[in-house]
Structure 1
Amino acid sequence: MRELLRRLTEGSLRWGAVEHAPASPTVWRRITVTVYPPGVTTAERRLLHAGRWWPFAGAVIGVFGMAVAADHVPPVLAGFLAVACYIASCWALHRRTAGLRARSRTVTAVFYRTAYEDAVYGDPVRVREVIGRFRELEDRRAAGDLDPVGYEREWGLLYDSVPEQESLRRVPR
C-alpha cells in the first residue's frame, strides 16, 4: 500500500519520468525522458509529478467545483471563481517547480509518419540508452546491490551523461 501511495504522489520513477505521447495527428509517437538532478527530495518529486498531471486534473476538479458552486452563487460567478482558482493553482505550481524543472534534463525522440515519409527527430538511441541504464540502476537498487549513497552517485553519473539542452534535429533514416 505504501508503494502504491508513493507511486501515485511521486510517480513510478525516483530519478525522473518517461512520457509516451502522440504530439499531433501526424506524429506517430513522442518519447520524452526527464532526469531529475540527484538529491531531489520526496517533496520536490511530488511537486514535479503534480506539475505534470495538474493541468488536466485541475480542470476536471474545476468543472466539478463550478457545478457545486453554481447551486450557491450565480453561475457566472461560479465560472469566474473556478477559472481563477485553476489559473492561480497552475501558476503557483509552475512557479514553485521552475527551478527544479530548469535543473532537470530531458532527451526526446519524435517519430513522424506522413503520407510522404517516415522521419525521426531527436535522439532515439540516447532515449533508449538512458531508459535502459536507469532500469538497470533501479534493478540493482531493488536487489540490494546499491546503498542509498551508491544509488545517488550512479544517478549523478547518468544525470551528467544527459546534455543540458537538446535540439530536435532530424535523424537520417
Structure 2
Amino acid sequence: MSIVPRRRASAVPVVATKQRAEASRLVRRVLHRILEGRHPWGEFEVWPSRYGSTSFCLVVYPPGAVRSERLRFRAMRAWPPLGMLLGLVAMAVASQSMPVVVALVIGGAVYGGGALALARLAGPRRRQIRTLRTSRSTDGSSALDWGPQQMMEDLAALLLAAEHEHRSGRIDAVEFELAWGEVWHRIGARRSRQDSRRRED
C-alpha cells in the first residue's frame, strides 16, 4: 500500500472552464445585439439632439420578419453612417496616389455601391418597414413627423409588453405576431392619413 499522499484535484481548470464559458456567452450576446438588435420586431431609439431636445424613433419591421431578414434590414439601416466613414477612408487612401477628383469618385462609389447592394439584398420587404419619429424639447412640446409623442410611447410599450410576455411563455408566437402586426398597421394607417392631407393641401 502506497504511503504517498494523494494530491487534491486542482480547482483551477474547472474555474477556467467556467470563465471561458461565461466569456463565450457574453460574446454571443454582444454579437446578437449588434447583428440582430435587441428586439425581433424592430428598434426603439432615443438620443439627445441639439438645443436640449430629445429625438425618438420607432422602427417596426413587417410582421413575422425572420432572422435573415432582420440581419439584412439592420445592415441596410446601419449603412449610411458606416458607408460614409468607409467612403471617406477610401477617398483618403486614393488621394495619396490619384487626383482629388478621382478620389472623390472612388469614395462616392464605395458609399453608393454599398447602399445599392444592401438595398437589393434586403429585397422588396424593406419598403414595408414602418417608422415613427418625433422629438421633444426641454419644455415638453413635440415636433411631429408621423405621429404624436404619446402615440409613439403607447405603441412602443405595446411591443415591449408583448415581447416580454412571449419570452416568458405567457403568449405564443401567433399572439406575439398579432400584437406586432397591430402596431405595424396603426403606423401605416397614420402615415396614410398624413399623406392624404398633404395631397389635399
Q: TM-score range by the shorter chain?
A: 0.7 to 0.9
Secondary structure of 1:162's partner? helix
CA displacement 1:31-58 (0-9 Å, x = unmatched): 1212111121222212221222211111
1:25-64 to 2 correspondence within 5 Å? 25=50, 28-64=53-89
- Is 1:147 the equivalent of 2:172? yes
1:29, 1:124 → 2: CA distance? 11
1:57-72 to 2 correspondence within 5 Å? 57-70=82-95
Compare the two structures and name the one with the higher strand fraction: 1
2:86, 2:143 → 1: CA distance? 37
- Is 1:109 the equivalent of 2:134? yes
Which 5+ residue runs of structure 2 have no aligned equivalent? 1-26
User: Normalization by structure 1: what TM-score?
Assistant: 0.75
Provide closer, same or farther for how the CA distance between residues 96 and 127 of structure 1 changes in structure 2, counting only shifts above 3 A: same
1:121-160 to 2 correspondence within 5 Å? 121=144, 122-160=147-185
2:52, 2:119 → 1: CA distance? 27
1:109, 1:67 → 2: CA distance? 36
Q: Of 8, 30, 35, which aligns to 1:4?
A: 30
Secondary structure of 2:33's partner? helix
Amino acid at match of 2:109: A
Preserved CA contact (<8 Å) 2:142 2:148: no
How many residue pairs are counted as aligned between the two chains? 165
Secondary structure of 1:12's partner? coil
CA displacement 1:3-53 (0-9 Å, x = unmatched): 321211122211011122456x45712212121111212222122212222
Which 5+ residue runs of structure 1 have no aligned equivalent? none
Amino acid at match of 2:28: R
1:69-84 to 2 correspondence within 5 Å? 69-70=94-95, 73-76=97-100, 77-84=102-109
- Is 1:20 the equivalent of 2:56? no
Provide closer, same or farther for how the CA distance between residues 113 and 151 of structure 1 changes in structure 2, counting only shifts above 3 A: closer
CA-atom RMSD in angstroms: 3.1
1:106, 1:14 → 2: CA distance? 15
Compare the two structures and name the one with the higher helix fraction: 2
CA displacement 1:57-85 (0-9 Å, x = unmatched): 112223333444456x4253444322212
1:118, 1:102 → 2: CA distance? 31
User: Normalization by structure 2: what TM-score?
Assistant: 0.66
